[in-house]
Amino acid sequence: MTELLEISDLTVHFEINQGAIEAVDHINLTIRRGEVLGLVGESGSGKSVTSFAILRLIRPPGRVSGSVHFDGVDLGRLSEEEMRRMRGAKIAMVSQTPRTALNPLLTVGKQISRLLMVHAGLSPREADKKMLEMLRLVRIPAPEKRAKQYPHQLSGGMCQRIMIAMALATSPQLLLADEPTTGLDVSIAAKILDLLRELSAKTGAAIMLVTHDLGVVAEICDRVAVMHAGQVVECAPVRELFHNPAHPYTKALVRSIPRVDRDVVLEPIPGSVPSLVNPPSGCRYAGRCEWVMDRCRVARPTMIEAGPGHVVACYGFEERRGTC
């Protein structure tokens, strides 16, 4: 059986004032049915651009190449209309900025009901009933009252839950959740994560969870892909990634996670994300890397196996394999 989502050689090219950039640079990634895949990396590593590219939401002059297959269908070959239907019904997104993603002129209840009428073909009455069910599912208190309110009348956490309710209303097979808990109160964030995990288990939906927070990843992901400066540098099952990180960047990320059970000084990740304009021709982590060798600056390392289901792109790891 094919994987639910197969991303091959995906590249997203932008022209910015300083020059051309590949915000996403030839990435390969798969998402399996029902799994929660974490996509992690520092700010600017290309996580959001990847989700937008999956949904074909990169607008010109931005350019996308490579392919994305969903359930065996090449999304690049669909018409705009077919893609719109795909977005509404089969692949949903919870964006990083829920308040701006909601329509300020419609009550939140109407927004969800409309979606259900358009994409699930429900009558207005059925749609309203299902809308209230969805609000209850995401634990919105007093849903009848909240449904009649506009986005600006709701807190950030509430808007986030409305977005999740909208995203799940049509039972998508894949949910792209971009930093769904950023800026939220810790207890609300924990509830939203529980909710996502629970909903995925209940509906069988796969989730790509975009975050820079490895603590969140440890809690709910099955597998993790690590992005650095537009490239995927490592991908592994979640326990394997935390116990045996192979890439020096992943090791640095893991070392930078605060832990309540250990009284250690956190180590910051060395250096900063390199400029995406005229990046070095080799590994984009070379300038920050403790293992850097001459060849790292010349050619980009390809993905090699580091363990079961575990791949990494690093010459340093390749040389040390078996010795560390």
Ligand X SMILES: Nc1ncnc2c1ncn2[C@@H]1O[C@H](COP(=O)(O)OP(=O)(O)OP(=O)(O)O)[C@@H](O)[C@H]1O
Give me the residues that bind Mg ion (CB under 5 A), please. Answer: 48
Residues 33-62 that bind ligand X (CB under 6 A): 41, 43-49, 62
Nearest to 154 by CA among 143, 169, 170: 143
To which residue do tokens 């629970």 refer?
198
**C-alpha–C-alpha distance, residues 103 and 49, integer Å:** 22
Residue 141 token pair: 């208190």
Smallest CA-to-CA distance from 20 within 52, 80, 83, 63 is with 63
- The radius of gyration of the chain's CA atoms, rounded to the nearest angstrom, is 21
The residue (of 48 and 173) whose beta carbon lies closer to Mg ion is 48
Give the residue with the Cβ less far from Mg ion, 210 or 296.
210
State in angstroms the smallest separation of the CB of 12 from ligand X.
8
Q: Is residue 14 close enough to count as binding ligand X by CB under 6 A?
A: yes
Nearer to ligand X (CB atom), residue 249 or residue 315: 249
In angstroms, the Cα distances linking 96 to 71, 112, 210 are 25, 19, 9
Kindly tell me which of 268 and 322 has the beta carbon lying closer to ligand X. Answer: 268
Phi/psi of residue 69, each to 5°? -105, 130
Residue 114 lies near ligand X (rule: CB under 6 A): no
Beta partners for residue 38, in sequence order: 209, 224
Q: Which of ligand X, Mg ion, none has residue 11 at its interface (CB below 5 to 8 Å by kind)?
A: none
Q: Under the criterion CB under 6 A, does residue 97 sit at the interface with ligand X?
A: no
Smallest gap from Cβ 49 to ligand X, in A, equals 3
Smallest separation (angstroms) from ligand X to the CB of 181: 13
Query: Cβ of residue 27: shortest distance to ligand X, in angstroms?
Result: 11
Q: Return the closest-CA partner of residue 211 out of 193, 185, 234.
A: 193
Interatomic CA distance for residues 281 and 50, integer angstroms = 21
The site partner of 307 among ligand X, Mg ion, none (C-beta below 5 to 8 Å per kind) is none
Residues that bind ligand X (CB under 6 A): 14, 16, 23, 41, 43-49, 62, 96, 212, 276
